[in-house]
């Protein structure tokens, strides 16, 4: 057979090939995986979180949660275990919500669970859930919660949320300084909060009064901090 004839035959064979592609196959298959999880069918791993036992499938967890991908695809002892205990102090209800997210792509964020979800998402390396929780907290910053949110964000390394909280504190300091959270600040947290060039106050008297109110909240425990705190106040700007 000549090269020309062989080429013509290959062209004809290629014309007979048709690639069918179902783009939304995951949309139909993942709900079935979730039903199997709920019914505990074909489950090959059980996650113990506190007193909860959560059935799951290693292949699904590996495909959707980076933490489990590393666990099950590397030579770790857990890869061969059928029951794995999670000992990271993560709230069981939040952890269950994140396992459901692995199957459905949905997670319900509420004021009561957002911090637990953020902690769990950080642990499991679920970056999109982590970002969603940060956005949720940022959109709901308030004078009564901003100090706690900032401390939590700093602990977990949520940089953008921490910066947003810090900016809120600076702009709304007069209101923040009379909140319950303000009076519960440690000395170091107080210094970090109050001595900023970006602090938005009408005059230095606001800073002085905030310091005095914080000290008076627990005089015996805090009076020794007063000299260090007053050293940062521009006293010449105060009226006699």
Calpha distance 145→198 (Å, rounded): 20
User: SS3 breakdown of the chain: % helix, strand, coil, rounded to 5?
Assistant: 65, 5, 30
CB 72 within 8 Å of CB 62: yes
Mind listing the pLDDT tens digit of every residue in the chain (240 residues)?
556 556 555 555 777 899 899 988 888 899 999 999 999 999 999 999 999 999 999 999 999 999 999 999 998 888 889 999 998 789 999 999 999 999 999 999 999 999 999 999 999 999 999 999 999 999 999 999 999 999 999 999 999 999 999 999 999 998 999 999 999 999 999 988 887 777 887 788 888 899 999 999 999 999 999 999 988 787 777 777
Calpha distance 37→47 (Å, rounded): 12
């Amino acid at each position: 057979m000549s090269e020309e004839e062989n080429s013509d035959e290959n062209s004809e064979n290629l014309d007979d090939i048709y690639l069918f592609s179902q783009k939304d196959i995951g949309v139909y298959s993942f709900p079935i995986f979730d039903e199997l999880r709920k019914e505990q069918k074909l489950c090959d791993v059980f996650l113990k979180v506190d007193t909860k036992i959560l059935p799951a499938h290693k292949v699904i967890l590996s495909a959707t949660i980076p933490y489990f991908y590393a666990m099950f695809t590397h030579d770790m002892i857990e890869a061969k275990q059928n029951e794995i205990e999670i000992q990271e102090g993560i709230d069981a209800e939040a952890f269950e919500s994140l396992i459901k997210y692995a199957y459905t792509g949905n997670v319900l964020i509420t004021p009561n669970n957002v911090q637990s979800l953020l902690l769990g998402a950080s642990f499991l390396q679920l970056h999109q859930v982590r970002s969603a929780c940060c956005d949720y907290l940022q959109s709901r910053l308030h004078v009564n919660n901003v100090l706690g949110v900032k401390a939590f964000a700093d602990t977990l390394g949520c940089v953008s949320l921490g910066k947003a909280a810090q900016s809120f504190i600076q702009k709304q300091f007069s209101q923040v300084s009379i909140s319950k959270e303000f009076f519960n600040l440690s000395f170091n947290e107080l210094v970090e909060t109050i001595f900023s060039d970006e602090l938005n106050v009408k005059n230095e008297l606001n800073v002085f009064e905030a310091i005095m109110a914080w000290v008076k909240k627990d005089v015996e425990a805090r009076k020794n901090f007063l000299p260090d705190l007053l050293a940062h106040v521009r006293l010449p700007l105060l009226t006699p």
